[in-house]
Structures are given as structure tokens and as C-alpha cells.
Amino acid sequence: MCVRMYTSLYMKFDLCPVFDSLDKFARLPIGLRMLDEYPDTKQYINSLSVKIPSLVDDVIQSQSFLRSYGRKSEATYRSYRNEIERFLLWSWSQQEKTINQLTRQDLERYFDFAKKPPKSWISDSVQTRFKFLSGEYRINEKWRPFAIKISKYDRKKQIENSSSPNVSKRSHELSGEAMKICFSAISSFYDYLTYEGYTFGNPIPAIRKQSPYLLKGTTQTSVKRLSKLQWDYVLSCCEQAADQDSKYERMLFLVALLKSLYLRISELSVRKNWNPIWEHFWVDNEGNQWLKVLGKGNKIRDISVPSALFPYIKRYEAYRAGISSNFSVKDPIVSKNRGLGGMTSRQLRNIVQEAFDNTYEMMKKKGYREESIALQSATTHWLRHTGASEDIATRPLKHMADDLGHSSMGTTDQVYIQSDMKERAITGKDRKV
């Protein structure tokens, strides 16, 4: 079994991760040779194989499934990998069965388990599975199959107070949306295994139909977005910073772009199959300006660029041309200050986070205590929601859906109209009996 070192924060856990991140997984050979660089996992699989002789077939089938479904995108691979890996570890450790030996009753027990896993399976943060040490990928002792999501505000407080969450005292329960993903991933897995002749059918749809964890209908909640006051301060703070020091021009451009074009942070980041460059800003025959992006599901879309954003584009364009004599339309839209190439999602998030942090300090000094505290929980995605929520009242729903990259207007309606509980409550207060 895996040899583990434990801290006081983590309960005993002797299971091992199986599949690494996509960039490493994609280059591995098919079969058990994939474990040659992962000695801890290899030892774990070999040890379990004594009790469950055909377990290696589970590993090979799972690897093939992830190779097939992971081709679409890194996000798809990561989602399926997380669900399949949890499922395998549960089947091997809790049932001592391979996945093709599980009964319908076993599978029902798995979804009960996944809904509320034991605390030993839970980490207080998302961790990488492996660490590269001495030419090998060794297990990260802090990794767990499930992770509690702690708000940015709470995590900041923990850092400020030099405290850490006690995982052993915390409960964790998957949300309805998370359970939908769980059912969907395992169902796709069984469809694949059935096609390959490894299982005799897919019982998941029947189990899902009777599941108490998938409730029909939803309780609407407010979209997480900046208030008008918060956004005004974010923009003003970025403008002041850029006026005083040109190194903040990138920050100003980035927050204006994300909010005005309803962009996901990934749509401005460098990816294996897409590099956002200035050439992706284009003008049609009528003089309308657009930005071409690669969105979720590897779908390319064109987003209309509002006239109000032009000054910010021109301002950053002039800044870039001023610091680089070789600036061209082939350059990344948002580039590094040092070095070549575009930026990763993490790097872009760090820039936006600095903007939020600066705004928090300014609003706190101005006496906006509640608004500043709420801002500490803001993420880059709030900018997308802020722009869309502001514009939904004045633009046709179809136009909003196309610019947002929603395949259905129903999604846009649900997210930005039906779920706006604050406004709904205000208009509902004056109803008569």
C-alpha cells in the first residue's frame, strides 16, 4: 500500500490517485506502462491486485475512456478524471470489486457515498495529485478525492490569522449540480464500457431516475456580480493606477475587456489549440467591430464590441506599441510584461485579483465597509456576470445569448433574468392583496 505521512490537519488516508493532469496523461503509453513513472500508484495497484486479480483491467479500460473523452478539452478530461477516479477508488477499497462486478445495489450505494463522503476523503483545498521528485511522480500527501471549497474571503482571513481549517471537524456534501455531473460522468463511462464489451449494460439512467439527490426544479439564487458602486470603483481604481504608472495599463484593459464583452478568463488565456491575438479583433463590411474567441466546448464565436470599449482598446494598443517596436496583429491580446507570449488563466486571474484588492482598500478608506467586504469574495467570473446583468434589460435575449456563448436562450434567461432575486423581490413588495 501507499506509505503516507500525515499532519494533524489530515485524517488517515491510504488510497492513491491514479491519473495525472492531461498534459502528462496524454503522453503516457497505453496499459500498465503508464505507471512506470508513478511508483507509489504502481505499488498501490500491484498490492490491490492480490485481492482483486482483474483490477488492472479497470485501470486500462479507464485510461482508454479518459483518452477518448479527454480529447475534447482539458476541462472535460479533468471533470471525467475526477469522477472516474473517485468511483474506482471506492469500488476497489469499499467493495473490493472491479467495476464490472458491481451490482445495481452497489452503484446505488456509491451515489450515497459520493453525496456525503467520509471526512478522510476530503481536503480543505484542491491539490495536485503528484509531485515530481528525483525523476519520478510521487504522491502529494495532501491530495484527497474530494475538496471543500473555501471562499476567498474566508481563506484570506485564515492567512491573516495564521490559522487553518480543521478538516476532521467539517462536513462535506455534494450539491445537486455536482451530483448531476457525477451521474453524467459515470453514465458515460458505463456507455463506453458496454460498447467495449467490458460490462453488460448501463444501469445508471434507471438509478438516476429514482435518485433522491436530483431534484426537479431549482431554487433561484442571485447571480454573483459586482454592484454598480463596486464596478464604478474597480474601473476608477484601475484608471487611476494606469494614469500614475503605465505598468497598470494591462490591468485596466483586462478588467474593461472581461466586463464589457462578458468573457470567461479562459477565453483570453493561451491554450494548446488557441492563442488569442490582436488579429482576432476584426471589422465587418458595415464597420462593426467584433472579437473572435474560442469558448466552452471548443466553439468559436464572434462577440460584438461596444463603442464604449474602443478608448480602452486604443489606450492599451498604444501602450503596447510604445514598449515594443515589433508590436503586430499577431501578438497576444494580453501579453506578459517580461518575456514572450500570452498569459495563462492563473496569471490573468492574479492581475484581476490585484485590481479587486486595490479597490477593496480604496472602498474601505471611503467608508463603504459592507461593499468592500463583499468585494473580497469577487472572482474574475463576476465581471462576466456584471456586464451581462447590466445589459440584459436593454439588449435582445438572442443577441445576449450569442455574445455570451450560450447554446440556448433559455440558459441566458435562467441565469440573467429569472435568477435575479434582488430585483424580483423589489418589484414584488408593492403587490396588493
Distance of alpha carbon 138 from its chain centroid, rounded?
A: 25
Contacts of 69 (CB under 8 A, 6+ apart): 76, 77, 80, 188, 192
Predicted pLDDT of residue 11 = 55
Predicted pLDDT of residue 57 = 95
Predicted pLDDT of residue 326 = 85
Please give the CATH superfamily to which domain 228-428 belongs: Intergrase catalytic core (1.10.443.10)
Q: Give the closest residue to 35 by CA, choosing from 136, 142, 141.
A: 136
Asked if 16 and 2 count as a contact pair (C-beta separation under 8 A), the reply is yes
Predicted pLDDT of residue 62 = 96
Asked if 233 and 202 count as a contact pair (C-beta separation under 8 A), the reply is no
Q: Domain limits of the chain?
A: 22-156+171-210, 228-428
Asked if 276 and 333 count as a contact pair (C-beta separation under 8 A), the reply is yes
- Give the other-Cβ count within 10 Å of 132's Cβ: 11
Q: Indicate the DSSP class of residue 271.
A: B
Asked if 20 and 130 count as a contact pair (C-beta separation under 8 A), the reply is yes
Query: What pLDDT tens digit does each residue of the chain (433 aa) get?
Result: 454 443 434 456 889 999 999 989 999 998 889 999 999 999 999 999 999 989 999 999 999 999 988 777 788 899 999 999 999 999 999 999 999 999 999 999 999 999 999 999 999 888 999 999 989 999 999 999 998 876 566 556 655 555 555 544 345 788 888 899 999 999 999 999 999 999 999 999 999 998 888 766 544 455 788 999 999 999 999 999 999 999 999 999 999 999 999 999 999 999 888 899 999 999 999 999 999 999 887 889 999 999 999 999 999 999 998 888 888 999 999 988 776 788 999 899 999 999 999 999 999 999 999 999 889 889 999 999 999 989 988 888 899 899 998 888 877 777 776 545 556 566 666 767 7
Predicted pLDDT of residue 422 = 58
Predicted pLDDT of residue 407 = 82
DSSP reduced 3-state for 401: helix
| pTM as predicted | 0.68
Predicted pLDDT of residue 46 = 94
Predicted pLDDT of residue 241 = 96
Predicted pLDDT of residue 412 = 76
Task: Please tell me the distance from the alpha carbon of residue 415 to that of residue 419, in angstroms, as a whole number.
Answer: 6
Q: Residue 227: phi, psi to the nearest 5?
A: -70, 170
